[in-house]
Amino acid sequence: MACRLQVAERTVLILWRSSNPYLTSHRVKKLQYPETTNDTVKSEVFKQIALLLEDKSLTVTDDMPLIGGESILDSMRLVELCLALEDKAAEVGFDFDWTSDAAMSRSRSMFRTAESLATEFIRQMKANK
């Protein structure tokens, strides 16, 4: 049995030829990978935040603060979130940098809100693709 792979823009084409006379001599299988959209990525970031919430009845919203007096996460859970996002970024194929000088600035930080974190994650993902 011979097999050949062709990869093109989120599609894998698998071609194989079998010596078994009962099988068709050529078979083609097309696998479509899902499109990564901003909404999908934002949803994944919000899911990671939700997993770390002490109060599981809360729903993660765009304006939910991640740092400051009204933060929903303590500093240890914020670090856990960053490590989880590093892992997600590695799965997608880039390095998520959450250690920049501006990261913990109250006015410019990516951690101001859930939405600002998702936006920064998406920005870094697109910049590294």
Q: Which domains does the chain have, with CATH numbers?
A: 2-32 (no CATH), 38-127 (1.10.1200.10)
pLDDT at 77 over 90: yes
What confidence score (pLDDT) does residue 14 get? 45
pLDDT at 68 over 50: yes
| Predicted confidence (pLDDT) per residue in 83-129, tens digit | 999 999 998 888 999 887 655 555 678 999 999 999 999 999 998 86
What confidence score (pLDDT) does residue 37 get? 86
Q: Which two tokens stand for residue 70?
A: 């009204």
| Predicted confidence (pLDDT) per residue in 6-50, tens digit | 444 444 444 445 555 554 444 444 434 445 689 999 999 999 999
Q: Could you tell me which residue, 18 or 52, shows the higher pLDDT? A: 52
Which residue in 37, 119, 41, 52 sits closest to 82, CA to CA? 52
For the chain, where are the E strands, in sequence order? 2-8, 11-17, 27-32
